[in-house]
Copies of this chain bind each other. A is one copy, B any other.
Amino acid sequence: MPKKKTSENVTVGITPVALKEHEHAHCIDDAINTAEAYCKNAKLRFTPIRRKVLEILAQEHRAIGAYAILERLRENGFGSQPPLAYRALEFLTKHGLAHKVERLNAFISCTHPTKEHSPAFLICRTCSSVAETTLDAAKTSLGGIARAANFRMEGLVMESEGLCSSCSRAAT
């Protein structure tokens, strides 16, 4: 992350949503609260381990690998067998509360939960920050090509690796 100010107030350095300087504690609270409300409404069980995994993810605007999550789980008194992490991640991604960043084989908490969307990511190769934005898959250029080919799109992975604004400036 470009500039760390305090553990509570972090500069994130990309625009979409993980953007700009912000009270980062809000991100975590928002993610948890939104997930809680969403699960309650949809009659899904927001269990302790699922909550903890989302908390872990929401603590950073970066993607985190399953085994790193697993380590954090262990530190918090949960078991440390891979299925624990993968099952919680499956639940969170299935319901749009988190996403997998394919390019990194790692996971990130969603910054636009509840909204039906195709996520897209800007991944900084220097500071590892990952910013999420949303797309209408059908309106992308690939959507047009798919339509012309009678290909029925069901999911879209769109991720760009490069340099975020801060790191790009620093690299000059």
Contacts and interface: CB of A to CB of B under 8 A. Distances in A.
Interface of A: 14-16, 19, 102-103, 120, 122, 124-125, 131, 133, 135, 137, 139-143, 145-146, 148-165, 168-169
Give me the 6 closest cross-chain CB pairs, A-B, nearest first.
Answer: A15-B149, A150-B165, A154-B162, A102-B102, A152-B163, A157-B159
A158 to B, nearest CB: 5
18 contacts: A14-B151, A15-B148, A15-B150, A15-B151, A16-B145, A120-B142, A125-B154, A133-B142, A133-B145, A135-B141, A142-B158, A151-B160, A152-B162, A152-B168, A155-B161, A156-B158, A157-B157, A158-B158
Given A102-B157, A135-B142, 17 more contacts: A15-B150, A19-B149, A102-B103, A120-B145, A122-B149, A133-B145, A139-B141, A140-B140, A149-B164, A150-B164, A151-B165, A153-B160, A154-B160, A155-B161, A156-B158, A157-B158, A157-B159
A140 to B, nearest CB: 6
Contacts of A169: 150
Given A102-B103, A139-B141, A157-B157, A149 B131 contact: yes
Main secondary structure on A side of the interface with B:
mixed
Contacts of A156: 158-160
Given A102-B103, A140-B140, A150-B165, A155 B145 contact: no
B157 A137 contact: no
A156 B160 CA distance: 4
